[in-house]
Amino acid sequence: MAVYHAEKQGGVTTQRVVIHYNCIGAFDVPDRRKIPEADIIIETRKGVAISYAPVLPQF
């Protein structure tokens, strides 16, 4: 797991977290363009929301 520094821009704080899964075999992440934005935002508690943004593999 890699956690990057939080960045505040325009009153919105974002933080990048990269999670590497071991021992689960191949895991295909769905194409983000096919997933509606509303389906990938999680309201964890008042004033805190988590959204999923896939990162393309760097070879």
27-59 per-position pLDDT tens digit: 666 676 666 555 566 777 777 777 776 666 665
For residue 39, count other CB atoms closer than 10 A to its CB: 8
Mean of the pLDDT values across residues 7-34?
74
Task: List Cβ neighbours of 11 (8 Å cut-off, separation of 6 or more).
Answer: none
In this prediction the pTM is 0.36
- Cβ contact 38:47 at 8 Å: no
Q: What tokens were used for 56?
A: 């393309």
* Sign of torsion over alpha carbons 45, 47, 53, 58: negative
